[in-house]
Structure 1
Amino acid sequence: MSASAKSSAAIKYTGLRLAVFAGCFVLVAVLVQFGILPKGLGDSNFVWVVLLALVLSAPLSFVLLRKQRDAMSEQIVDGVDRAKDRLHANRTREDGIA
Structure 2
Amino acid sequence: MKAFWTYTLARLAVFAACFVVIWLLSQIWLESTTVANIWVLLIALVVSSVISVFLLAGLRDRLAQDVHQRATRMTDRIEESRRAEDID
TM-score by length of 2: 0.92
Partner of 1:4: none
Give the whole-Å Cα distance in 1 for the aligned partners of 2:86 and 2:31.
Answer: 66
Q: Is the counterpart of residue 51 in structure 1 residue 51 in structure 2?
A: no
Give the whole-Å Cα distance in 2 for the aligned partners of 1:50 and 1:22.
Answer: 10
Give the whole-Å Cα distance in 1 for the aligned partners of 2:31 and 2:48.
Answer: 19
Partner of 2:67: 76
Distance 1:59 1:39, change over 3 A: farther
After superposing on structure 2, the runs of 4+ consecutive aligned residues of structure 1 that deviate more than 4 Å are none
Unaligned runs of 5+ residues in structure 1 are 1-6
Give the aligned residue type for 1:96.
I
Tell me if the contact between 1:20 and 1:61 (Cα under 8 Å) persists in the aligned partners.
yes
Equivalent of 2:18 in 20, 24, 32: 24
Give the whole-Å Cα distance in 2 for the aligned partners of 1:27 and 1:39.
Answer: 16
Partner of 2:28: 34
Q: Give the Å deviation of 1:43.
A: 2.8
TM-score by length of 1: 0.83
Query: Per-residue CA shift, 1:11-62, capped at 9, x if unaligned?
Result: 1111110000001001110111111xx668x631221111010010001001
Matched pairs, number: 88
Q: Which has a greater percent of helix?
A: 2
Partner of 2:54: 63
Q: CA RMSD in A?
A: 1.5
